[in-house]
Structure 1
């Protein structure tokens, strides 16, 4: 089957997030069709850092059951949800509104208030899945499962599908970067993956809506790639090269994909880890409901990420770093309010974005 490409237009005609059909990889297409897809991925990764994929073959019934139990959980009373909180260093369980600041993951001191207006629930890969490896319990922590009917089964089913999609993407990435087909396997065979379910609407009276409202602050994602399911509700905004913010909503049946900081490091910024944020719409003083679920494919905690030889060029912009060092510093920023010491380039980028994007608020 040949590859299909479309575009999602923003308010500025020159900005678009390409929609790419990856059926050539999910249905064993021929090499010529795969080469077309890999070229499209390379172009999107180099120019936007975001893309949308169709042909991913995630069953509709899996998505329907997953979103239903996500709704059931977020409909619980706030105090009941808070029973599933974990310490900041454990990236699991429930995060209530205004308990995080994603901008701090970039080391931006002025964004230090923990005021991101979203609630979330996280699950991830557990150490017990790899009994032969001595994986750290804090990063590969046991999941906390709420007492919601079918929640664990439905979330686990979607987790498995998102993991499959992420691994398919790394296979495409290898082709796009002229690497051996299995190149990324050694870096992802016990990948530190997390699924974060987000909700941006709360019943009236639970929070005060005053001043600047941040759904999710300006940030880049941390790892290799993010597989995002989202409502077709405005809120997600992506920064372009000129410092303008653009609304991006998924096309019918599409999953949004964006690259993380580790991929930008690997490729020496040939591929982009693009700044994005969520600005939930306010209608008559209340927030319009919006949901999303981000599967973060982050790589093995003990893997060292160094610039690919084919991307070094005149010199590498980044020193080698392990996945564990990188992710740990990012989470210490967003969840515990600690500035990220490894994010000098990222911090400069977000400060520039804040200045350029101020007129787009």
Structure 2
């Protein structure tokens, strides 16, 4: 069967469509979640000026000298600030030891929900750390916060549709996400000459599944993103015009007992004339409340749950310990097995 990431128009959920229209969208989401785990979302309502301002903010920050960007590097446990090239290994979030031979060459800057966003709640400071903002780019914060708000709106809209698609009560996921641990990770792959060795094993971002509930991805229309299909082969994916790429995370796969897929993916930007082709992306991770317990939905238990209940805190911290602290995850056996069974594309593909 040909690999295909469907384009789904969520306008009925954004603009108060009628029940029939929403039901049709929910059916499409269910089909995509069961068969691919990725989808192209249009009708999301994110204004183009917000996207343009956000892209400009990314360019301004990543265009700074590495020494300047390093000033904003924070301890990995806080998941805020700057991550320099080759400081992370996403495959270790799956416990795959071979990934240590070369860390991923992307650089990133993270912002997220903070303690001050949820006054009155006693939340762990490391998980809900305050954001830091680069002083050298005074026009960085406003456009990033504007896009953060829009991406969060899209993620929450999708969870409303997910409840319908899974035959759950309206707004079912709200109780699990009303102080959600959300992070926006801005990524850059166009690194200066000499930053990395351009060899055959070059990985922009290693093989991984996302950790939380749902990911909303803005990206350049440039090659690089690859998704592992049900045929155990890697397939190239690029955003359609005006679309945001959306994929499901591990917590949603646990909730649905793998009725819905947390699909393996990676980034391998092509090399053109000895230079890594420019590619930018930004992933908004909607991960759920830190104290929420994720257990198989009653409608998805079937012959039994594939997973034990887990808190969002335990799951996310274990995954981050792999990718950022380089401590292999020993609790991702099902995901690691899928990765180890994957077939590589033919040599010279890139």
TM-score normalised over the length of structure 1: 0.94
What's 1:10 paired with? Answer: none
Shift of 1:130: 1.0
Determine whether 1:357 maps to 2:347: no
Counterparts of 2:340 and 2:199, CA distance in 1: 24
What's 2:62 paired with? Answer: 74
What's 2:27 paired with? Answer: 39
Counterparts of 1:217 and 1:359, CA distance in 2: 18
Query: Which of 158, 161, 165 is 2:154 aligned to?
Result: 165
What's 1:327 paired with? Answer: 316
Per-residue CA distance 1:97-118 (angstroms, 9 max, x = gap): 1010000001112212451010
Counterparts of 1:296 and 1:113, CA distance in 2: 27
Counterparts of 2:224 and 2:269, CA distance in 1: 5
* CA RMSD, Structure 1 to Structure 2 (Å): 1.2
The size of the alignment, in residue pairs, is 347
What's 1:151 paired with? Answer: 140
What's 1:26 paired with? Answer: 14
Runs of 4+ in 1 over 4 A off after TM superposition: 358-361
Shift of 1:90: 1.3
For residues 198-347 of structure 1, the aligned pairs below 5 Å read: 198-347=187-336
Structure 2: 5+ residue stretches without partners: none
Counterparts of 1:230 and 1:210, CA distance in 2: 24
Q: Name the SS for the 1:17 alignment partner.
A: coil
Counterparts of 1:100 and 1:348, CA distance in 2: 21
Cα 1:357–1:207 change in 2 (3 A) is: closer
Shift of 1:205: 2.4
What's 2:46 paired with? Answer: 58
Per-residue CA distance 1:182-215 (angstroms, 9 max, x = gap): 1100000000000000000012123332341001
Determine whether 1:109 maps to 2:97: yes
Contact residue 101 and residue 113 of structure 1 kept, 8 A: no
Counterparts of 1:226 and 1:136, CA distance in 2: 23
Q: Name the SS for the 2:109 alignment partner.
A: strand
